[in-house]
Structure 1
Amino acid sequence: MRSLSSPGVTLLPTFLLPFVPISKLPAMDSSIEYLTDLEGTQVTFDAVAEPPFNFPAQKWIILEKLGEESNRLTKEDITAELGPSDTTGKFLCRPASEVDDNRRAFLRIHQQVPIAGTETKNAAVRATQAVDTPPDHPELIAFRTFIKLDCDVVPRLLGYQQRQQDHEEGVPGGYITYILWEKVADESLNLTEFWRLPFADRQAIRDQFCQVYTFLLCGYMPCMAGPSKIIYDKLSGQMHICGFKLASPFDDPQQWDDINYFHYGLIQPSDSRFDWEGTPPETADWIEDVNGWTW
């Protein structure tokens, strides 16, 4: 079995993903789903003991599929080095214990899939498509980096694993990568609610966002900024930054800039205010500064 880039970590097969024949569907259709009917499936992670990565052997149950994006490529695409053909799914999980302790985690599955038009070819033909070196997934690199930097303002990586597909799966010898991370309390920041808060409360959230965001300025950022990347627990006041599927690395340490507030919806241009789903446009304590921002 192959291992991840970390030396000395041997990864064994976990569970088998069903191979879905799709030869009648058009190529390059990102709506095609391969990772189906996995609800109730148990996922086993082997222990990882290589400081600073110390994950126990663990088992999780898939509760719900949250989405899938496939990248089904043609032979011409592969020749143009646009490959490999693959799919990515996100799932909600719970620990596989008899008693549900209410812990939840997200699971990302990256799986190589057959080149368009070869889905019904025999296993030996599909096996020739298996890549020698699995892709380096930015999300896993980012999560591992955050652990090395002791960064606690992002969801915590709980485990990861990589294996080869077997003879019964879509691309025998092709890769499957599993990434498991915690689901932190509460949900994404609601901007309608945010802009209806008193100024002092909004400013307190901005101040906290600045402190949290500053921890990321030497590592990785979500590729697409926005309020959905801010997870804010109103009861505890805790805040996390999420959304590292397409994480972007920083080559050099960055400095804080108030434009970051705008990128995440926490300030608005004074000359073109946004309408947050019915938020009164002339809320009394909205404050305009000399730089053209509304706070």
Structure 2
Amino acid sequence: MSSSFSTWFIKGINPGTVITLNQPFSSQWKILEKLNEHEFQINKEENNDYGFSSFASAKFQCYDPKQRSKEAFMRMYIQVPHRKTEMDDADTRGRQATIFTPPELIAYRDLNQKHSSNTPKLIGYKTGTQDRSGLVPGGFIIWLVWEIVPGLRLGDSNGADPYWAHKSDERERVRKAFVKALPKLVENGWFPTVSRARSLVWHQDTETLYFVGRFSKAGKRKSPVEFAEWIATFELAKPVPPVRWEDDDWDKDTSRWEW
């Protein structure tokens, strides 16, 4: 990661900027604030050998300027120069331009088409290329906007404290909803990239559990799903004693677990 170029999203996307999307239909979204930014910069050899692209992404909170109460999340992807080529001239950097579709966009489009009821809906997106003044002239620039689902996020980077703050009967309802929702997501071909409570949002009024964040292709399992394993993996139970799922000697005894 290049510390000299650690912030790529400086011009043109300040709060108040309106972004126009064109897929699947035209829509406009006004930026409220930038929530985070991540960099995925590689060197030329990694691009030549594996076809990887250098890019940065930023997440924003935004809203429909015609309907202020309609808020959503936006992610912007932009191709950036390969590591150690940041100071090359535009023509050289332009030769780095590649075609790229974010896996996140692929997942959301597919889940939309399959009418998934436990994941956020993709609202719109737009793919384009940078102009002559861009970081990589001719390089990709991509926007996508998805809904903010209602409810309480059950975890964060520190763990699952919001989930464990619920009373035991409410936690039981969450787990029952999880056991119903996870197979539907897998059947649709996807799985949360981060298998933790922070990938879950619980809407108490409708008893709906949503999976949020990025998704990865669901692989085919050689053995049946052990729901106790996944409940614990997503921090909805605390194994006692701690369990290593890859160990063949797990006796599947959950009687001492904290639920």
> Shorter-chain-normalised TM-score: which range?
0.7 to 0.9
For 2:7, the aligned partner's letter is E
Q: What secondary structure is seen at the aligned counterpart in 1 of 2:73?
A: strand
**Which of 53, 56, 77 pairs up with 1:110?**
77
Partner of 2:58: 89
Unaligned runs of 5+ in 2: 244-252
Question: 1:267–1:115: structure 2 CA closer, same or farther, 3 Å change rule?
Answer: same
Aligned with residue 118 of structure 2, among 146, 153, 167 = 153
Q: Does the CA-based 8 Å contact 1:85-1:112 persist in structure 2?
A: yes
Query: Are positions 1:293 and 2:257 aligned together?
Result: yes
Change (3 A) 1:167 1:238: same
Query: Which secondary structure does the structure 2 equivalent of 1:203 belong to?
Result: helix
Which of 193, 209, 213 is 1:223 aligned to?
193
Q: How is 1:113-192 mapped onto 2 (pairs within 5 angstroms)?
A: 113-131=80-98, 134-190=99-155, 191-192=160-161
Q: CA deviation at 1:268?
A: 0.8
Residue in 2 that maps onto 1:249: 217
Q: If you compute each CA radius of gyration, which structure gives the higher value, 1 or 2?
A: 1
How far apart are residue 64 of structure 1 and its match?
A: 0.9
Are the counterparts in 2 of residues 226 and 265 from structure 1 also a CA contact under 8 Å?
A: yes
- SS where residue 61 of structure 2 aligns? strand
Q: Aligned-pair distance for 1:236?
A: 4.3
Amino acid at match of 1:63: L
Return closer, same or farther for 1:47/1:112 CA change in 2, 3 Å cut-off: closer
Structure 1 unpaired stretches of 5+: 1-26, 49-55, 274-288
Q: How far does the alpha carbon of each residue in 1:53-90 deviate from its partner, in whole angstroms, 9 at most, with x for none? A: xxx31000111111111122233443443632111111
Q: Which residue of 2 aligns with 1:238?
A: 208
Is contact 1:110–1:176 with CA below 8 Å preserved after alignment?
Answer: yes
Q: Verify the 8 A CA contact 2:173 2:207 in the aligned structure 1.
A: no
What are the Cα deviations for residues 230-280 of structure 1, in whole angstroms up to 9, with x where unaligned?
A: 111334433211111xx221244874622111011111112259xxxxxxx
TM-score normalised by length of structure 2:
0.83
Counterpart-to-counterpart distance in 2, 1:138 and 1:35:
21
Residues 209 and 31 of structure 1: is their aligned pair in 2 closer, same or farther, counting only changes over 3 Å? farther
The alignment partner of 1:103 has SS state of strand
Is the 8 Å Cα contact of residues 28 and 73 (structure 1) preserved in structure 2?
no
Q: Alignment partner of 2:52: what SS?
A: coil
The residue type paired with residue 293 of structure 1 is: W
Larger helix proportion of the pair: 2
Q: TM-score, normalised by structure 1?
A: 0.73
In 1, are the aligned partners of 2:154 and 2:197 still within 8 Å (CA)? yes
Q: Please tell me the root mean square deviation across aligned C-alpha atoms, in Å.
A: 2.5
Counterpart position of 1:33: 7
* Deviates further, 146-155 or 186-195: 186-195
Q: Distance in 1 between matches of 2:129 and 2:111?
A: 27
| 1:164 CA displacement | 0.9
Supply the AA of the counterpart residue of 2:17. T
Equivalences, count? 241
1:198 aligns with 2:167: yes
Q: How many angstroms apart in 1 are the aligned matches of 2:95 and 2:220?
A: 40
Distance verdict in 2 for CA 1:65–1:196, change over 3 Å: closer
Q: Which residue of 2 aligns with 1:280?
A: none
Contact 2:239 2:254 in 1 (8 A): no
SS in 1 for 2:106: helix
Q: Percent identity?
A: 27
Distance change in 2, residues 1:227/1:152 (3 Å): same
Measure the CA separation in 2 of the matches of 1:161 and 1:31: 25
Q: 1:153 to 1:30 in 2, by over 3 A?
A: farther
